Amino acid sequence: MNGVMRFLVACVLYVISCTVAYGKATPNLSQKQWFAGSKECELDTRPSMEVLEFNLTTYIIRQSKCVHYEAPFIYLLLGDRKALLLDTGATTSAKLFPLARTVQMIIQQHLIRIKRQPKDYALHVLHSHSHNDHIAADSQFYGVEGVSVVPPHQLTVLQKTLQLSDWPNSVSVFKLGGRNISVIPTPGHQREAISLYDDQTQWLLTGDTFYPGRLYIRDWLTFKSSIARLVAFSEMNPVSAILGAHIEMSACAKKDYPSGSVYHPNEASLVLTTKDLQLLHRQLTIMGLKPQQVRMDKFIIFPLI
Ligand SMILES: [Zn+2]
């Protein structure tokens, strides 16, 4: 590459890196340390989102804590015919948080790689649940050709779209082309909560139902049943990692950050395991019908009752 070409490539990379921080495949996701915000967000110049290319067809996007303290995780799974985006984050503004542009750029690269035309490819936007910190950038996808957004807050539409007739007991399969995503209803944190299982990575994506943080439970018995079903599912299917939508625990056992904090030094790993899920299930079983707050090493059971 000559000097001029090197300069042009460097310019392009610089422009891209101004808004989005890209990370290459991580051999061990459990060791990954994410951008964890800043004590002085007003002085922070880091990008509004961190994009981790786990592999060529799997991306994890984390919103910066300096853009929104919730700093949710968003998952993009690419198949041969369709892509699935799980959640859209906590910020509506495309200027502050250019999610749709970032996702479209990744999909364009994918289509070049698999030699497919955009007209033959679709993006489906789903939500782990309908709380604002997971649906805020939906509007960036409205009206975009080839994109469908499952509307939040509409349980019957969700059930129909995902063919979950026996809610919450049935499991459906969403086919992306060479990649199947199982959809598991997991209400309890919220009425429309679902978890996804990706047969390519063997990840179980659990949204706010199970993650390293405060497990806010609105409906105690429904939540317990959902966790029992997740345990049963994980016993029938190989699970390499359980990935939720936030990190609120520090790497020190039992210690969480204050709610609303924009700085998380020494965060816990995003990755939870089936052993952690079984531990939650056992603890919920011991507690029976009586909701109570219990602080575990990697998460906190947090009934809102
Ligand atoms: Zn959330």
DSSP-derived secondary structure for 114-182 = HT--GGG-EEEEE-S---GGGTGGGGGGTT-TTEEEPPTT-HHHHHHHTT-TTTTT--EEEE-SS-EEE
Between the CA of 12 and the centroid of ligand 1 the distance, in Å, is 34
Confidence of residue 89 (pLDDT cuts 50, 70, 90): very high
Residue 5: pLDDT over 90: no
Question: Which band of pLDDT confidence, cut at 50, 70 and 90, is reported for residue 20?
Answer: low
Say how many Å lie between the CA of residue 18 and the centre of ligand 1.
26
pTM value is 0.92
| CB under 5 Å of ion ligand 1: residues | 133, 208
Query: If you measure from the C-alpha of residue 155 to the centroid of ligand 1, how many angstroms do you get, rounded to a whole number?
Result: 18
Q: What is the mean pLDDT of the chain?
A: 93
Q: Could you tell me the distance, in angstroms and rounded to a whole number, from the CA of residue 98 to the centre of ligand 1?
A: 19
Structural domains present in the chain: 17-303 (3.60.15.10)
CA of 39 to the centre of ligand 1 (A): 22
pLDDT at 24 over 70: no
Per-residue pLDDT, averaged over 221-236, amounts to 98
Q: What mean pLDDT is predicted for residues 145-165?
A: 95
User: Worst-scoring range by mean pLDDT, 26-35, 40-49, 211-220, 255-264?
Assistant: 26-35
Instruction: Compute the residue count for the chain.
Output: 305
C-alpha–C-alpha distance, residues 252 and 98, integer Å: 33
> Which of 112, 212, 20, 175 is CA-nearest to residue 12?
20
Higher pLDDT, 25 or 90: 90
| Cα(270) to centroid(ligand 1), Å | 14
**Per-residue model confidence (pLDDT) at position 305:** 73
- 33 C-alpha to ligand 1 centroid (Å): 19
pLDDT, mean of residues 258-283: 97
